[in-house]
Structure 1
Amino acid sequence: MRLPEIDDLASRLRFSLRDGRVWLDTQRVAVIHLATLASLRRELSDTLGFQKARGVLTRMGYSSGVRDAALARKLRPHHDVRDAFLVGPQLRVLQGILMMEPVRLEIDVAAGHFYGEFTWPECFEVDAHLSDYGISPVPVCWMQTGYVSGYTTAFMGKTVLYREVECCAAGQRQCRIIGQPLECWGAEYLDEDLSAMQPEGFVNRFAGRRRLHAVASPPAAQDVMDMVGASSGFVAACHLLGKVAKTDATVLFLGETGVGKELFAQTLHRISRRADKPFVAVNCAAIPENLIESELFGVERGAFTGAIQSRPGRFERANGGTLFLDEVGNLTLTAQVKLLRAIQEKEIERVGDTHARKVDVRIIAATNVNLNEAVEAGRFRGDLLFRLKVFPIRIPPLRERRDDIPLLLDHFLHKFTSAHGKKITGFTPRAMDALYEYEYPGNIRELENLIERAVILGEDGYPIDLVHLFTFDEKKSAADFLHLGQGGELRTPEEQAEGPLPGGVVDQLLGCGMALEEIETRLMERAVERARGNLSSAARSLGMTRPQLAYRLKKLHKDHA
């Protein structure tokens, strides 16, 4: 199986000598020594051990693959899906990483079907491992398998896992990988290969993996919300979560609306020493000021009109476990005073009671408000902020986690097809483009709602398209997502993909006195010449189909005869 011509990709690599930058289309890249990557690999392996080093390098490759997939759809928008997909392997050639040869490639984005098999004769990871550690009992091309997993997952809109089944570092004559959707792999393959995608044990347990174990797993275990992501900001937040889970320290989650603060709080409780105790959540913004004290601390019978029986508050109900104070920045100053005392003294008094009750509660708080600014403005108590901000964790917005979008799409698609009994096959390429480019002011919550709506509107046996995603007041088509051109003009993705024709070339064409028909003839003949007579390849380079090119050439020769 031959790769398409690479000229269209090579033309996108530009060196800006004035400011010391290298660009691959609109992405800034760098030319570095492979010895530098080999040194990084050795340092990670020696410091963290092979398993953790593999995870770091696999996720690095995954993020790179996700970004190249977005570039692939942009650079070959008019080509068939196979040639568009093969941008990934060709970019690895252009980047000087390796020569990846396709052996077998079955791809149907609309049906959600994928099977890919690739080989390469050598790889810097193999050379680095053999030089540092000798022959390996297991495959070692970690960055490359991560890259193709991320690339294919982003291209397909569903999680695709590659496994390296042969490796030169293990004594085989070539490296060989096989990739297919997660649910197609047998359960015996998942634990080791999926662990490389898990920065922490509670992250990326994957919908496909749960499907395989659905019969053996109790329903409660399957209903636990999954933490999904591989981007650097998300991984950093998860690392902090894993660190603080071993303690009883107060945690403050910071982030915009919809980033998943409550899911982080639930996960923290689930992996902590208090996991078998209650997790009680309270939305501080939803409780009226005159009820906040009774809601948090409880009430004794007869304390006020309507208090016909004693009732424990949220602190007592969470005793021994975790109390999650969501939207804590919206508490009134009066409520803040009472909350501060409860946290400091670790005791509460019910409304209408005369004695204090000791409580053992871990406090987790969350807010989308800048509490430092609120303190300066007098809307939030500084002493309470110091009590809450023992261990702050910032959760990045989705626009800073674009590498996670393919994983999230697959996660939510499985969730809602199961919930609503639908059989949606995946996403169309233009739906993927729109979902990747969208800004998500509502973050993860908005993405989740978009996918649920699309699943409900979509037809069984077909992929989700743009019409299923966006309502009248939202983005409706890929043309809504504009980019800034080199001349400062706004361009659609199709226009951006075509790229600007250098002004000097246009001036030369106009100055040579050639007729438009002659220019077209020369272009077609030169394209066929460069493709060594291969009309399909020549047609792709001109942005047309083979029948269109054949018809024009036939007409041209007939006119000249």
Structure 2
Amino acid sequence: MNDALTYPSDSDLRRLLRFEPDSGAIWLGERRMLLLHTAALAALRQDLIRSVGGEHARRLLTRMGYACGLHDAGFARQTRGGKGLEDMFLVGPQLHMLEGAARVTPVRLKADIEAGQFDGAFRWDDSWEAHAHRTAFGIADEPSCWTLLGYASGYTSAFMGRLILFKETHCAACGDEHCLIEGRPIDEWPDGDAHRHYFEDDSLLDTIDALSQQVEALKTTLSPPVSGGMLVGQSPAFRAAHELMRRAAATQVTVLLTGETGVGKERFARALHAHSDRAQGPFVAVNCAALPAELIEAELFGVEKGAFTGAHAARAGRFERADGGTLFLDEVGDLPLPAQAKLLRVLQDGEIERLGAETGRQVNVRLVAATNVDLLGAVERGLFRRDLLYRLNVYPICIPPLRERIGDIEALAGHLLTRFTAVHNKRLAGFGDRALQTLLHHDWPGNVRELENLVERGVILAPQGGFVEAEHLFPNQPTPPHDSPDGQGRLARQSSDSELALCERILESRTPIAELEAMVLNLAVERSAGNLAGAARLLGMTRAQLAYRLKRNQPGSGDDD
């Protein structure tokens, strides 16, 4: 890198900073931001120092800045990954200024990522932290911009892939005119080990946390009888359904689970089985819609040898396999009418008859059925037996759709994240703020099954050690309308990606603006079949404004400049 450093344009970074008044959120890339008064931060800082002491306060504030720097390093790769090393690294100082920390002037910057070498110096003017410290405690004996130093160290460490320690050689809190910081690998500082605890104290805790997540995932996978399957939620609608399930588990009543596709009916059935006195018996699940109509009776009730061509041996059906346990019939509304008649007999007498058999067999089975269709409507259309509906509908439980369980989405997503990180051998920091916000505002037509698929995809696409971002969950999600600071620092509406692409094509075409305007006006008139009022509506202007512009664009109008 050159010693003579100049900042590239920060317009790309300003576009990352998005103000969305309608949603009440401010975003820097995929991270949610918050505008805070420096007076509030200064008061918090002062209280920390007075309550826990300077050394502990320094560690906490350094770690806070370090975490901010780690996040911003991700923007450097996302925003300027295709540019030179110097431009990419200078994202950090430019973001630090954009976030209001200080005015940062690069003094020296030499970096070689492959060799792990770094030597940098930066000047800070108007550091908010130096001002806050001097206001609260007067002239300091030691440099005190701990949060800002943590930021510089965190950003550069993430950028370089090794711990880079920044120290203040001048600090405005100590009475200097400005702050001056220098950074290099921590091993190259004579007193580097004395500063290491500010950054690495939690490494063992991180390892323990990662192992704990894997253990919890294994518990969920291997111990459904204890956990009752993956039933996660505290919303009122979920708790009502769960309470109905819990009460039914202690009885032998036939249960009918209803709800939209993907709400987790089989998970509820497994939980009911796990909480019942049949938990040590088999749980057999059958998807009635997946079985061919001509084979469904043989699958459910079994076959005797020679019952039909190809039946070379007797075979037990699903009812017999579930003897002493629970049989779960999913999509029961898709059963053909002959199979419905035999199912009714099992429910009435507890007896099944194999195909080709002359006598029945007693079975001790708890039946749980599920459907996502209106069975009463199917009865009216002659597709489902009314007497069977009455037998199945003794104890109905309606499982709510995910859109009615907004308060459960974060917990469910976290549970699935733990499960899939263990399955795919990934270690992730969690969901990004934008990703979590997007999950909370999604309509969830596919319910819990859709959430499960999205989280697994996100785990696979997210980088090792990083966050699951909205782009990993919803690759084609459009960017909502937002405002961002312009070159003068004023908020202005930002163009969408498609609008910017259109402007790029126009500029590349080198079409004069007057000619372009005439083309657009004439096209609008043509599409409106010569109706100026209709053309004006297409263009978002009044008829009089359109007529004026058309007249101005006519040759020899005398209005051309």
**TM value normalised by structure 2:** 0.50
Question: Which entry has the higher C-alpha Rg, 1 or 2?
Answer: 2
